Amino acid sequence: MSSPGGQGGGALSTRGAGGARRMKWALELSLSNTRSRGDRQGGQGDTMYPIGYSDKPVPDTSVQETDRNLVEKRCWDVALGPLKQIPMNLFIMYMSGNTISIFPIMMVCMMAWRPIQALMSLSATFKLLESSSQQWLQGLVYLVGNLLGSALAIYKCQSMGLLPTHSSDWLAFIEPPQRMEIMGGGMVL
């Protein structure tokens, strides 16, 4: 953080509450004084600066109307982001294998979670793309990319056997059948 230079050489400051009490007063001869004091003096506002002076630089907010291509390009970047991740995901999928252990599970979770998160914040992304002329196309591409990502995650779950698609996955829910006949007996006593 940039600190103002503080007072000129030989400035004398009396100190209020807080800070080191043992010093009643201090004389600073150098410009590069301790940070703590500089902060506080900066916060209190200093009479040494002229009126209207700000120590933060003012951002340049003016829109370059002329460079629309740049905006388009930026919007396409956003829209194609999910699609670009797919080859990477495929590679990770291939590398992590189909065994159920902590790392593949973490990967799958991440792969599944990212598109879902993106889909949930779809309106925010649309707002981002508002400035573009091909807004609807870009939105569609973005959506399709994310859907493809989640399909990939589901495929991965399927190949890992995490989806309840087999009859054995529903075995625990089968109730024992009710018996229609009462039967008993045995050897003649």
Site residues, other proteins (CB under 8 A): 18, 36, 39-40, 161, 166-169, 171-172, 174-189
Calpha distance 169→172 (Å, rounded): 7
Smallest distance, other proteins to C-beta of residue 11, A: 20
Which residue lies nearer to other proteins by CB, 130 or 181?
181
Inter-CA distances, 168 with 93, 161, 164, 173, Å? 25, 11, 8, 10
CB 145 within 8 A of CB 81: yes
Which residue lies nearer to other proteins by CB, 50 or 186?
186
Q: What is the DSSP string of 83-111?
A: HHHHHHHHHHHHHH-S--SHHHHHHHHHH
Give me the helix-helix angle, 102-120 and 122-129, nearest 10°.
60
Which residue lies nearer to other proteins by CB, 24 or 179?
179
Calpha distance 25→11 (Å, rounded): 11
Smallest distance, other proteins to C-beta of residue 45, A: 16
Calpha distance 85→87 (Å, rounded): 6
Which residue lies nearer to other proteins by CB, 37 or 74?
37
Smallest distance, other proteins to C-beta of residue 34, A: 12
Which residue lies nearer to other proteins by CB, 22 or 179?
179
Smallest distance, other proteins to C-beta of residue 111, A: 23
Smallest distance, other proteins to C-beta of residue 162, A: 12
